[in-house]
């Protein structure tokens, strides 16, 4: 087992795939999952790809750091892709980094500004409990919309 394998332990997690309507719970689960694997910095952009060095004294070391970064970033991208519904994969086409992938999903799933507020308000105010619906499930769904 390589050192990289030790840093990315196997997991017994199962995350519901990201669909059209479950962004907030999916984001929480995915963030916790990636954080547990010590890879959250790749998602947030805190761990940046090292720059190549022109200095021959450190070039080899820097190239190894770049390669290690690339493997871990690819691991995060694969984890995210595996947790997407087929219809959501289109939002991640052509991305080069896990951070870019996360930003694209965030942009699509969390609309900002006036249009986002209006869309969310419509969903919230139009949501109602049908006759015979479990009220606890209804309240849980309202809380999910609110988040």
Helix, strand, coil abundance in the chain, percent, nearest 5: 65, 0, 35
pLDDT (tens digit per residue) in 22-74:
998 999 999 999 999 999 999 999 999 999 988 888 999 999 999 999 999 99
The whole-angstrom separation of Cα 134 and Cα 40 is 36
pLDDT at 14: 79
pLDDT (tens digit per residue) in 97-121:
999 999 999 988 887 777 666 766 7
More confidently predicted of 82 and 139: 82
pLDDT (tens digit per residue) in 127-137:
777 788 787 87
Q: What is the C-alpha end-to-end distance of the chain, expressed in Å?
A: 41
């Amino acid at each position: 087992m390589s050192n990289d394998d030790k840093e990315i332990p196997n997991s017994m997690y199962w995350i519901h795939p990201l669909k059209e309507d479950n962004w907030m719970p999916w984001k929480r689960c995915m963030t916790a999952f990636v954080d547990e694997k010590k890879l959250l910095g790749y998602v947030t952009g805190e761990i940046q790809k090292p720059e190549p060095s022109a200095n021959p004294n450190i070039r080899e070391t820097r190239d190894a750091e770049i390669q290690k970064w690339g493997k871990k970033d690819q691991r995060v991208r694969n984890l995210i892709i595996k947790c997407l519904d087929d219809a959501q994969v289109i939002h991640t086409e052509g991305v080069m980094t896990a951070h870019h992938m996360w930003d694209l999903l965030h942009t699509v799933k969390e609309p900002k500004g006036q249009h986002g507020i209006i869309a969310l308000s419509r969903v919230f105010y139009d949501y109602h409990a049908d006759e015979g619906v479990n009220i606890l499930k209804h309240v849980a769904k309202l809380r999910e919309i609110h988040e």
